[in-house]
Amino acid sequence: MAVLRINGGKRLYGETVVQGAKNSALPCLAAAALGRECIVHNCPDLTDTKAGLKILNALGVETSFENNTVITRAPKCLSCSKINDELMKEMRSSVMFLGAILSKCGEAEISYPGGCSIGARPIDLHLKAFSQMGVNIREEGERIFCKVEKLKDAKIKLAFPSVGATENIMLLGVVSDCEFEIENPAREPEILDLRNFLNSMGGNISEGKNGNLLIKGVKALGNTEYKIIPDRIVALTYLSGIALCGGYGEIKAVRPDHIKLPLKFLEEAGNDIKCGEDYIEIKAPRRMREFGIINTMPYPDFPTDAQAIFMAASLLSKGESCFVENIFENRFGHIPEFLKMGANIRICDNSALVSGVKRLKGTELYAKDLRGGAALVVVALSAKGESIIHNTEFIDRGYENIERSFSDFGGEIVREG
């Protein structure tokens, strides 16, 4: 398997362009099954987006993917209403195709998506919402059988603003003769991107009173040409690398308004940040101050996907930073790897207290999940000496070419094998 070989300890200088958002591309690909012909620009070339295209092909949707543009042609009726088990295992977020399949076929069958290294990842909120909307759900062992009796108007109150559940409700309700209101919906930028994508196809989704999401079903969706938003977590990965290693960088094709709170933390820790409409310039201090307390919470609070990456950035800072992971139950898999490099971190329940150290040393490192793996790259670039990062397949799920991007900043990082 490929590894990333990194020779760390250098300041980073340069610029790079941010890829399209993985967590926007995936639901938009599911939504494309509901239309006729969709042209989707700025789609990141990732193992996860390729898995999404495989699912579309298995459902009978024609797809092409070139230079980050996906073109889909969906048939009036899908050729099947199942997502095969291998694809469900390959990518658990395949569950977001459920709403689209149910909308097109009136029935769907999937195996339970199962958990991953960061948590159990249940889908009870998805299924509860579906049954409120008029879907009959039968669970047999590891399989879920859904059948649309007759969709009915529903006001769905989400106990937690689940991103996936909000997306699945939109995908099931957008083509119907009903009206749905979601109370306590997820508000991530990727949710707004899916809403804009569906509306560009002829959907009618809007924001109601106190931020509720209103879905007025329409008869059918048509064609669209659309550009996916930039990936805010990938942008934060590059910013954290420069903040930790020192230096200066320009991050292009980014939406600073999607990462206001994380940028504030970077500024308060001593980084000079200058934002334009679609770029961010960062000038790192010689040594960052502590971040203080970072609580991961639903948007617009601090994103859980940036927790490992910001913890990486805190390892050499003065003072103490505390990271409280409130979203996933097992999202500290990167900490043992940080400790191997000489970091000073104490874990208590879902909190990790980082005391900044003066130096870190390179060593053999093992990625355990997507964002934790990216955080290892950030730390290895700052550590003295050589690091080898294994299990790069986790990182490739969310980063088009992490080694090329950090090489754009002068980082010594190569992929081998």
Active site residues: 116
Q: Is 33 among the residues that bind ligand EPZ (CB under 6 A)?
A: no
- Reference 327, options 308, 353, 354; nearest CA is 308
Among 333, 373, 398, 411, binds ligand EPZ (CB under 6 A): 398
Tokens 């970091």 belong to which residue?
343
- Work out whether strand 3-8 and strand 385-390 pair parallel, antiparallel, or are unpaired: antiparallel
Q: Is 189 among the residues that bind ligand EPZ (CB under 6 A)?
A: no
Among 126, 187, 232, 334, binds ligand EPZ (CB under 6 A): 126
Q: How far is the CB of 10 from ligand EPZ (least distance, A)?
A: 27
Q: Is 195 among the residues that bind ligand EPZ (CB under 6 A)?
A: no
Q: How far apart are CA 200 and CA 181, in angstroms?
A: 20
* Cα–Cα distance list, 182 to 140, 156, 291, 334 (Å): 28, 5, 35, 35
Q: Is 172 among the residues that bind ligand EPZ (CB under 6 A)?
A: no
Q: Is 63 among the residues that bind ligand EPZ (CB under 6 A)?
A: no
Q: Is 370 among the residues that bind ligand EPZ (CB under 6 A)?
A: yes
Q: How far is the CB of 193 from ligand EPZ (least distance, A)?
A: 11
Cβ-based nearer residue to ligand EPZ, 233 or 242: 233
Residue pair 45/400 in contact (Cβ under 8 Å)? The answer is yes
Among 371, 377, 382, 400, binds ligand EPZ (CB under 6 A): 371
Residue pair 92/345 in contact (Cβ under 8 Å)? The answer is no
Q: Is 93 among the residues that bind ligand EPZ (CB under 6 A)?
A: yes
Q: Which stretch binds ligand EPZ (CB under 6 A): 77-85, 163-171, 201-209, 256-264?
A: 163-171
Q: Is 304 among the residues that bind ligand EPZ (CB under 6 A)?
A: yes
Q: Is 21 among the residues that bind ligand EPZ (CB under 6 A)?
A: no
Cβ-based nearer residue to ligand EPZ, 95 or 215: 95
Count of all residues that appear for the chain in the document = 417
Backbone CA torsion sign across 312, 314, 317, 319:
negative
Dihedral, 376, 377, 381, 387 alpha carbons, nearest 10: 70
- Reference 68, options 33, 30, 19; nearest CA is 19
Q: Is 50 among the residues that bind ligand EPZ (CB under 6 A)?
A: no
Total residues binding ligand EPZ (CB under 6 A): 24
Cβ-based nearer residue to ligand EPZ, 222 or 300: 300
Among 102, 163, 171, 174, binds ligand EPZ (CB under 6 A): 163
Q: How far is the CB of 49 from ligand EPZ (least distance, A)?
A: 11
Among 160, 204, 293, 404, binds ligand EPZ (CB under 6 A): 160
Q: How far is the CB of 330 from ligand EPZ (least distance, A)?
A: 10
Q: Is 164 among the residues that bind ligand EPZ (CB under 6 A)?
A: yes
Q: How far is the CB of 118 from ligand EPZ (least distance, A)?
A: 6
Binding mask 246-285 for ligand EPZ (x = CB under 6 A): ----------------------------------------
Dihedral, 270, 403, 374, 226 alpha carbons, nearest 10: 90
Q: Is 393 among the residues that bind ligand EPZ (CB under 6 A)?
A: no
Which phi and psi (to 5°) does residue 198 adopt? -65, -40
Query: ∠120-53-219 over CA atoms, to 5°?
Result: 95
Among 327, 376, 378, 402, binds ligand EPZ (CB under 6 A): 327
Q: CA 192 from chain center: how many Å?
A: 14
Cβ-based nearer residue to ligand EPZ, 226 or 394: 394
What value does the CA radius of gyration of the chain take, rounded to a whole number of Å?
Answer: 21
Among 19, 23, 382, 387, binds ligand EPZ (CB under 6 A): 23
Q: Which stretch binds ligand EPZ (CB under 6 A): 122-130, 143-151, 260-268, 276-284?
A: 122-130
Binding site for ligand EPZ (CB under 6 A): 22-23, 26, 93, 119, 121-126, 160, 162-165, 186, 304-305, 327-328, 370-371, 398
